[in-house]
Structure 1
Amino acid sequence: MVNRSRTGKKILTLAYLVMVLHAANAQTYRIRDQWYVGAKVGMVSFFGDLSIHDFNPVSKFTDESDFAWGIIAGKGLNRVFDLKINLISGGMKGSNPAMDMYFSNRFSEISAGTAIDITRLIWPETISRFHITAELAFGGIRYRSIKYRKSDNSYLSSVGYTSSREISGSAKSAVVFPLGIGAGYMISNRWVISAELLYRLHNTDLLDSQIGSTGISDRYSFTSIGLVYILFPVRQTRDKADECPRW
């Protein structure tokens, strides 16, 4: 409970800083400007009781990561801040040979949050097609998970599945706090190539259908690349930096 309280305070502090920074950069776009949509694909990496490669990126991607895809929609508020919604669907997997267990799950996540253009905060007058962003969001996840014995593939436990992996009852729900960094390159006034690495703080310990003894909730990250289409770009002028959304 103490860890969750501290996490909540950190989130509130970050949200307060976002509001202060927004007030300092209050020259907003028009209502119709800088709306955008996009799609992304990537890998979800699991961190929890049934993972052992948390400090080995190569093994983490090959052994404890699974495919996911997502869609986004958002609006640039000004040259520094965006508001956006993310929808992600995919799977997770992991194992712990010492515990003789492995798991897999399927999940969907929706979140809403803000992106802060670090490049433009540091260099306000920069003219660049490449941008680095800080990402902060709040959302929810629904998932179903199943766990097996590693030595003989026998069923151990599940959340939202039967022992034969048939859907049973409702999916488990939980709160998530996505935090991380993004980057993008604007290839035209409408198209942006994007990349993200966002870590998810999570308020339950059943993503792997295994309740641990540490009191630390399961976590996961989503590393993705994507393509963003700007519906109504801000009109360009020769003395104005290229407008680029935060995705």
Structure 2
Amino acid sequence: MMKKISGLAAATALTCSLATGVRGQISTPLPKWEVGLSVGPFIYQGDLAPGLAGSFKEVSIGGMVSASRFLDRSFALRTGLTLGELRGDDRKYGEEAWRQARALRFRTTTFEVSETLVYDIFGNNDNHLRFSPYVFGGIGYSFLTVRRDASRFDSTYFASTQGTKIVNGLKEDLARNPPRGVLVFPIGVGVRYVPGPAWSVNLEGNYRFSKTDYLDGFSRVGNDGRNDHYYSIMLGVLFKILPSKEMKCPEESRVRWGGL
């Protein structure tokens, strides 16, 4: 009988050991909060930077601080504060004579407040895997400071090429004050690497759809039928606030059988 009891205790200890090895912190309650800090390039998409890649020749560095509330092992609500700068310059994109003559440029500072729903595809909010991908989407508001420059605009070129629409479009744009804020809709994908139970490193791409064509301060002088957008590629460090008490397998198993 004692041999059976000892064998049962050993099996229990082995099971705990294997469970710890397979899922790491599976016996630890799911953390409630995670904070993060990330940095990376911000890239503008609009009339002053044609093409799908956006203004990749005028990249600036921005940063984000975030706080996430875990709903379960797969979903979390993330609040983010992001500071960045968007840039564009006609003369750095394309050799077309009209673009060189238009010669518009801008710099816009963005301070974004956002709320997104993050879905960890492998249910890794408890950090039991080394790698896991995730996707997210939500809503935000970006406070803007737009600094536009049309001082290099060659009005004689557009007068000689019957560019009345462009000249009049620029006049309309300059007569209008740029927006001080805009609604944005961030969506993105990312991947995280988990070296320990509390710390992780992530890399993500975050694309923002905006509700304005004036992120660059211009619209009528360009393609006024499409809004401006921007995106970022961020590398960050995340820290989970672990519970103070952890559920652990017992260090010693005692089995009572028939008074023993």
Helix, strand or coil at the partner of 1:194: strand
Q: Does the Cα contact within 8 Å between 2:207 and 2:230 map onto a contact in 1? A: yes
**Change beyond 3 A, Cα 1:160–1:85:** farther
TM-score (normalised: structure 1): 0.68
Separation in 1 of the partners of 2:58 and 2:186?
Answer: 19
**Change beyond 3 A, Cα 1:190–1:160:** farther
Gaps (5+ residues) in structure 1? 1-28, 162-170, 239-247
| 1:117 Cα deviation after fit | 1.2
**Change beyond 3 A, Cα 1:41–1:53:** same
Q: Does the Cα contact within 8 Å between 2:103 and 2:153 map onto a contact in 1? A: no
Residue identity (%): 24
Separation in 2 of the partners of 1:160 and 1:143?
Answer: 12
Q: Does the Cα contact within 8 Å between 1:158 and 1:209 map onto a contact in 2? A: no
Counterpart for residue 139 of structure 2: 138
**Correspondence 1:199 to 2:214:** no
* Counterpart amino acid of residue 234 in structure 2: S
Counterpart for residue 158 of structure 2: none
Q: Does the Cα contact within 8 Å between 1:144 and 1:159 map onto a contact in 2? A: no
Counterpart for residue 198 of structure 2: 190
Separation in 1 of the partners of 2:77 and 2:216?
Answer: 31
**Change beyond 3 A, Cα 1:160–1:69:** farther
Higher strand share: 1
* Counterpart amino acid of residue 111 in structure 2: S
Gaps (5+ residues) in structure 2? 1-27, 92-98, 155-172, 250-260
Could you report, residue by residue, the CA deviation over 1:122-154 in whole angstroms, capped at 9, with x for unpaired residues?
xxxx9522110011111100101122247489x
Counterpart for residue 5 of structure 1: none
Helix, strand or coil at the partner of 2:212: coil
| 1:78 Cα deviation after fit | 1.1
| 1:235 Cα deviation after fit | 4.8
**Correspondence 1:77 to 2:80:** no
Counterpart for residue 234 of structure 2: 224
Could you report, residue by residue, the CA deviation over 1:139-198 in whole angstroms, capped at 9, with x for unpaired residues?
100101122247489xx959879xxxxxxxxx7111000001011111111111011101
Helix, strand or coil at the partner of 2:148: strand
Separation in 2 of the partners of 1:158 and 1:70?
Answer: 34
Separation in 2 of the partners of 1:127 and 1:36?
Answer: 15
Counterpart for residue 148 of structure 1: 149
Counterpart for residue 95 of structure 1: 89
Q: Does the Cα contact within 8 Å between 2:193 and 2:202 map onto a contact in 1? A: yes
| 1:107 Cα deviation after fit | 1.3
Higher alpha-carbon Rg:
2
Alignment partner of 1:118 out of 118, 121, 142: 121
* Counterpart amino acid of residue 90 in structure 1: G
Counterpart for residue 25 of structure 1: none
TM-score (normalised: structure 2): 0.65
**Change beyond 3 A, Cα 1:50–1:150:** farther
